[in-house]
């Protein structure tokens, strides 16, 4: 089975790194820190339709890890650009008869707030420009005529990173703790999130591919909520260092609590999360210690 991964950032690289041992994988995208570390990398602007016209995509699975909108974006005009670019891309992919299009949406932002585990049928409430861009793409892919899977992941962490870069609050907290730097806190310590270690995240994708699930929506999560206060305490315990916290404010819509139910994923596949939160944080501490030569 052949898989083409669009986007060569943190997620695209780590998905390829894990799945390449099971499938014939190729990564397309713009050059990045990760691109030189990928055996099968093709430098392509995936929204440049001319570059795609002569490429055979028949019977290939596409995993889209491209993000045109940052999670701090405020300019709503970018949503029209997203629509235009993706409509052209979907038209080409349909013409080329791909096997399946797998979209990475955003389980952490598209539902809005909830203090109970959210299922895939929960009403959507995308507040930020970033979340609305994901909602728009979900609706577009459902109408595209392509076989699709929409994945709503929570907060993947761990794996392989560009040195000095961070992915999410866990790695930021670990780095701040180890370097004894101040952590700028811009949401409440009681805010709750659902975190999933990268290998469990990619294993969920693999299970859905293996079971040939089409035209459906799945949460990808650990199913376990952790408050920011709990995350901070866990990092402090494992690093054995207190973190200096500075309360700040950023003017973007904030989600106070979000935990995703993974019941549907477990029922439809053989998926089982293997890395506990403590195990995942320990792995991240080890990785960052090595990176910092500590």
Is position 183 within any domain? no
C-alpha to C-alpha distance for 78 and 16, rounded to whole angstroms: 28
Alpha-carbon distances of 241 from 66, 183, 189, 233, rounded to whole Å: 36, 13, 18, 10
- Tokens 């101040």 belong to 182
Domain of residue 216, CATH code: 3.40.50.720
Task: Give the DSSP letter of residue 118.
Answer: B
Is position 55 within any domain? yes
Model pLDDT for residues 73-117, shown as the tens digit of each residue: 889 999 999 999 999 999 999 999 999 999 999 998 999 877 688
What is the bridge-based pairing of β-strands 155-157 and 182-185? unpaired
Is position 81 within any domain? yes
Is position 237 within any domain? no
C-alpha to C-alpha distance for 288 and 164, rounded to whole angstroms: 9
Model pLDDT for residues 209-238, shown as the tens digit of each residue: 999 999 999 999 999 999 999 999 999 999
The number of folded domains in the chain is: 1
Model pLDDT for residues 162-185, shown as the tens digit of each residue: 877 766 889 999 999 999 999 888
Task: Tell me which residue range forms the domain holding 14.
Answer: 2-158+195-222+266-273
Structure tokens at 135: 């909602």
Q: Exposed, middle or buried: residue 145 (CB in 10 Å: 0-12, 13-18, 19+)?
A: exposed
pTM for the predicted model, two decimal places: 0.92
Question: What phi and psi, each to the nearest 5 degrees, are found at residue 13?
Answer: -65, -50
Is position 164 within any domain? no
Is position 126 within any domain? yes
- H or E element that contains 232: helix 228-239
Is position 184 within any domain? no
Is position 231 within any domain? no
148-171: burial string, b at 16+ Cβ within 10 Å, e else: bbbbbbbbbbbbebeeeebbbbbb
Q: How far is CA 249 from the centre of its chain?
A: 25
- Of these ranges, 52-61, 72-81, 278-287, the one predicted with the greatest mean pLDDT is 278-287
Task: Check residue 138 and give its pLDDT.
Answer: 97
C-alpha to C-alpha distance for 269 and 209, rounded to whole angstroms: 10
């Amino acid at each position: 089975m052949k898989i083409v991964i669009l986007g060569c950032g943190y997620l695209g690289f780590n998905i390829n790194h894990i799945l390449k041992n099971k499938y014939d994988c190729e990564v397309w995208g713009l050059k990045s820190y990760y691109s030189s570390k990928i055996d099968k990398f093709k430098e392509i602007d995936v929204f440049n339709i001319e570059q795609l016209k002569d490429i055979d995509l028949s019977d290939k699975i596409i995993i889209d890890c491209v993000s045109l909108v940052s999670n701090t974006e405020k300019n709503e005009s970018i949503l029209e650009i997203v629509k235009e670019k993706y409509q052209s891309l979907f038209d080409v992919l349909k013409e080329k008869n791909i096997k399946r299009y797998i979209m990475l949406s955003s389980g952490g932002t598209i539902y809005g707030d909830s203090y109970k585990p959210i299922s895939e049928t929960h009403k959507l409430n995308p507040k930020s420009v970033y979340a609305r861009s994901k909602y728009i793409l979900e609706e577009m892919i459902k109408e595209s005529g392509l076989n699709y899977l929409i994945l709503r992941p929570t907060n993947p962490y761990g794996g392989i990173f560009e040195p000095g870069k961070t992915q999410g609050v866990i790695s930021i907290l670990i780095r701040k703790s180890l370097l004894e730097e101040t952590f700028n806190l811009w949401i409440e310590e009681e805010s709750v999130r659902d975190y999933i270690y990268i290998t469990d995240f990619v294993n969920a994708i693999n299970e859905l591919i293996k079971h040939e699930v089409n035209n459906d929506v799945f949460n990808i999560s650990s199913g376990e909520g952790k408050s920011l206060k709990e995350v901070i305490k866990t990092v402090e315990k494992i690093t054995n260092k207190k973190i200096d916290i500075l309360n700040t404010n950023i003017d973007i819509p904030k989600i106070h609590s979000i935990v995703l139910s993974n019941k549907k994923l477990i029922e439809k596949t053989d998926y089982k999360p293997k890395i506990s939160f403590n195990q995942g944080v320990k792995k991240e501490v080890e990785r960052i210690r090595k990176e910092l030569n500590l």
